[in-house]
A = this chain, B = another copy of it.
Amino acid sequence: MIKIAIVGYGNLGKAVEAHLKNYPDLQCIGIFSRRDNLKTQIYPSFHYDELLNGEHDIDVCILCGSSDQDLMSQTQELSQYYNCIDSFDIHRLIPEHLDNVDKTSKRAKKTSIISVGWDPGLFSWQRLLFETITPIGTSETFWGKGVSQGHSNAILNVEGVKKAVQYTIPNTETLKKVQAGLSYDKEEKHERHCYVVADEKDHDRIKQDIITMPHYFAGTKTLVYFVSEEELKRNHHGKPHGGIVTRYGQTGDFNQTMSFNLDLEDNPSFTATVLIVCARAAFKMNKSKRFGAFTIFDLSLTDLSDKPRSTLIKDLL
């Protein structure tokens, strides 16, 4: 059994807690939070500082803190003692973060895998796979259907809006153009669907304010639906996400289109599954003395799977 510590108890931490039981070779020993006396669902909670005194027997820490606030310091700190996994997603800082964690991990003979999840993560993996196979071609990534917090907040700033949820949705016309090798407008990759709660007398003006809002909606296909507060609560409280990575590759005169689609009903619980299987990979890589900080580009599927290689080859190749 691989002994797992969950570090941080937000959306992602809760999702890792909820789903770890589906991976029979992994065992959760507890949740470590900076908050005291945290009420958790399944596993016991401990204070984050207990991770620093080496009292707990832990094989891998799954760090579920925020990329903005926590991960750059926490992963570096904990990789002095443990194999670590994180989902750090601030693209321009990834090389620096990787470098920091690589140094601490190597010194401690530990193995960390950073920036895993689906984007960065599986999407990056597919992008690189597609471009490597067909060096000539065009790649695109479309996101959604997913809630965009930034755009939802922008709508909330419109006078008279009480509540709002904005979904980013791939524009299927543009997707078809990419996959057919036709020219397309980068500005037209996504549609924006807005669900808004407001008094009826304001609807027309609010709609105009939204669809003409510079930077956020102007120039983009934007649909505005007014709903009641009850309907918003009932139908738009979820955290769906996903998207499509596609490549229109060319081999001579032939077109070869590859695509990878994710349609996620719940973003944190899917991201959690990727973190969980990477925890297994870090453990296995550490056992075979591959020390340092790695990314999803460095992993093989035999690292990620719990099944013996011969079984994988027999059953799935």
Residues of A participating in the B interface, judged by any CB pair closer than 8 Å: 15, 18-19, 22-23, 91, 94-95, 98, 115, 120, 122, 124-129, 131-136, 179, 249, 251-252, 254-266, 269-270, 272-274, 277, 295-302, 304-306, 309-310, 312-314, 316-317
Contacts and interface: CB of A to CB of B under 8 A. Distances in A.
Contacts of A128: 301, 305, 312, 316
B298 A300 contact: yes
Query: Closest 8 A-B residue pairs measured CB to CB?
Result: A254-B266, A251-B269, A254-B265, A257-B263, A297-B301, A124-B317, A259-B261, A256-B270
Contact of A125 (B259, B270, B296, B301): B301
A257 B251 contact: no
B262 A260 contact: no
Contacts of A19: 251-252
Contacts of A266: 251, 254, 256
Contacts of A251: 15, 18-19, 22, 266, 269-270, 272-273
A27 B272 CA distance: 43
A302 B297 CA distance: 6
Of listed A131, A179, A255, A300, residue having the most chain B CB within 10 A = A300
Contacts of A134: 273
A80 B163 CA distance: 70
Chain copies in complex: 2
B256 A258 contact: no
A269 B129 CA distance: 17
Given A128-B301, A277-B132, A255 B259 contact: no
A88 to B, nearest CB: 10
A97 to B, nearest CB: 10
Contacts of A312: 128, 297
Contacts of A298: 300-302, 309
Contact of A297 (B22, B98, B115, B317): B317
A273 B309 CA distance: 25
Contact of A257 (B91, B261, B296): B261
Contacts of A265: 254-256
Nearest to A310: B95
B295 A317 contact: yes
Contacts of A258: 260-262
Nearest to A19: B251
A127 to B, nearest CB: 5
23 contacts: A18-B251, A19-B252, A22-B251, A95-B313, A115-B317, A120-B317, A124-B316, A127-B316, A128-B312, A129-B304, A131-B316, A132-B277, A132-B304, A251-B272, A254-B264, A256-B263, A256-B264, A256-B265, A258-B262, A259-B261, A295-B317, A297-B309, A298-B309
A89 to B, nearest CB: 10
